[in-house]
Amino acid sequence: MSLMDNIYKKASSNKKRIVLVETEDIRILQAASQAVEKNLADIVLLGEAEKINSLAAENGLDLSSCEIISVVNNERQAEFSEEYYQLRKHKGISQEDAEEAVKKPLNFAAMLVHTNYVDGMVAGAVHSTAEVLRSALQIVGTAPNSKLVSTFFIMQVPNTDYGEAGIFAFSDAGMVENPNSEQLSEIAISTANSFKSLLEIEPKVALLSYSSKGSGNSEMVKKVVDATELAKARAPHLAIDGELQVDAAIDEAVAKQKVKDSEVAGQANVLIFPDLNSGNIAYKLVQRLAKADAFGPVTQGLAKPVNDLSRGSSVEDILGVIAITAVQAQIN
């Protein structure tokens, strides 16, 4: 059974309600149709029924099992406006500001999550990551024990024994631009926990650098060394090591030459990048050059699951994120 087959099976075992925002994009409707067909989730589509049904009919899609909710003149606008005002009044917004804010589809969808009408939200096929996560942070908020919201990609690389038979988590490749040591340690721990809870695979976490165990000496390396020490102290039950070059992290032959006494080196399946530049570049290179499947960015640290899509996502990518969001909702 493949990685996503396992995710699909978990999603189907306890169906959750997931709202999809960008229903003017045919990819979203195609993914919604497949999600219903595969019994992955109960789908709520945000948009105008006439437009959605017309686009679906033009493309031979059956969306009859999906609930369609319009933002325009919705009966919950007043309720959502008041709730948004209460959430954001400490930032100086007015009642009028709140009324306008909840007319925006991303904010309205986040309010559906916040008020438990749905269990999770997927957006980003049209909107930027910043727009999606701004709505999530302002309305859904962070989880009670979370110090940082970050993201990771689940990567499935074909024809390799590296990682967990080609399965990895790459983090953070979508949100935290230049984490300090403390933030990097939080990203490492959160990603390890997410990897285990979603995939039921024991995480082996490598904090990556251009240096392995002191082969380089700079502030960039020190940040990763300090983050590794913090992560180990905070989560002694996890297999965590760093600083490691990527070849030493995933290739046992290289690890034997460069690293001694490590339970991670040569076996890592959770790769923590020192900044957003390196993480984002790495996942896109692996996706394109190795023909890997990249599912995400999956958000962690929010009170309820809201996940962002790459604007270049395929229908299969979107379907995968819907299923992952549903499984996250089960865990929450």
- Does 42 score more than 80 pLDDT? yes
Mean pLDDT of 229-252: 94
| pLDDT value for 235 | 95
pTM given for the model: 0.87
List of domains in the chain: 3-141+305-331 (3.40.50.10950), 150-290 (3.40.50.10750)
Confidence tier at 1 by pLDDT (50, 70, 90): low
- What share of the chain has pLDDT > 90, as a percent? 78
- The phi, psi pair for 37, rounded to 5°, reads -60, -40
- Does 127 score more than 70 pLDDT? yes
| pLDDT value for 216 | 73
Mean pLDDT of 173-193: 94
| pLDDT value for 215 | 77
| pLDDT value for 53 | 94
| Rg, Å, the chain Cα set | 21
pLDDT tens digits for range 314-329? 898 899 999 999 999 9
Q: Is the peptide bond before 243 cis (omega within 30 degrees of 0)?
A: yes
| pLDDT value for 92 | 87
Mean pLDDT of 30-54: 95
pLDDT tens digits for range 268-289? 999 999 999 999 999 999 999 9
Nearest to 179 by CA among 211, 212, 220: 220
- Does 195 score more than 90 pLDDT? yes
| pLDDT value for 314 | 87
| pLDDT value for 147 | 83
Nearest to 76 by CA among 44, 102, 98: 102
| pLDDT value for 158 | 93
- Does 2 score more than 80 pLDDT? no
Mean pLDDT of 86-113: 92
Q: Are 155 and 195 in contact (CB under 8 A)?
A: no
DSSP collapsed to 3 states, the chain: CCHHHHHHHHHHHCCCEEEECCCCCHHHHHHHHHHHHCCCCEEEEECCHHHHHHHHHHCCCCCCCCEEECCCCCCCHHHHHHHHHHHHHHHCCCHHHHHHHCCCHHHHHHHHHHCCCCCEEEECCCCCHHHHHHHHHHHHCECCCCCCCEEEEEEECCCCCHHHHCEEEEECCCCCCCCCHHHHHHHHHHHHHHHHHHHCCCCEEEEECCCCCCCCCCHHHHHHHHHHHHHHHHCCCCEEEEEECHHHHHCHHHHHHHCCCCCCCCCCCEEECCCHHHHHHHHHHHHHHCCCEEEEEEEECECCCEEECCCCCCHHHHHHHHHHHHHHHHHC
For the chain, what is the mean pLDDT? 92
pLDDT tens digits for range 296-315? 789 999 999 999 987 878 89
- Using CA atoms, how far residue 311 sits from 107, 150, 298, 317, 328, in Å, is 19, 18, 14, 11, 22
| pLDDT value for 104 | 94
